[in-house]
Amino acid sequence: MTNGNAITWNQLDLHRMSVFANRLAGVLADRSETTAVGLVGTLGAGKTQLTTLIARSIGVASDDVTSPTFTLAQHYRGSIGGDAPVTVDLHHVDAYRIADEDEWFEAGMEELLDTSASQDHRVWIFVEWADRFADWMPDDTLWIRIDWDTQSASPGDLPTDLPGENDQPRRITITGNKLPAGLADDESAS
């Protein structure tokens, strides 16, 4: 999916995932071009949870963010930045139920990925299960893989119930051809 370097965040509980989301939002706010983010991970790993935290960082209430599993896409508008805030359109897409490339195009993904951003308006497109359509994602997609952090966790910290129903540690790995500076984890960068 990418030839770029990787940045890894380990031991992400809900608090550290929120720290990561705020850092990512700040980095994306500095980009004036449309940004595609491919979210990869098993069912319940935290793809929607991360997108909810990103939406919260632009002022969208967490209760207003819903999974796009059945609607294929949800759209949110917020802003980010202190003295000179920029408007952010956050498009949250779930590609799990898209069967093939024909449905990908029929769902309007090509047009959505071609949406223009500007100096005072950002466009972020977060696509869950994007790895199913990696060939159709832009070359500069920022790929985020979310996994259970079984290597860093002690056996008592591992999930014992359904994925996503607990605050068990996760690992996030970010890759991309244009990996932005500023995403390194201050505690566990690799």
Q: How confident is the model over 128-161, as pLDDT tens digits?
A: 999 999 998 999 999 999 998 876 544 444 444 4
Q: Which two tokens stand for residue 7?
A: 């940045």
Report CA-CA distances (Å) from 2 to 9, 135, 140: 18, 11, 9
Residues of the chain predicted below pLDDT 70: 1-4, 151-167, 187-190
Angle (CA) 46 51 55, round 5°:
145
pLDDT digits (tens, 9 = 90+) for 59-72: 998 888 877 777 78
The predicted model scores a pTM of 0.84
How far apart are the C-alpha atoms of 37 and 47, rounded to whole Å?
11
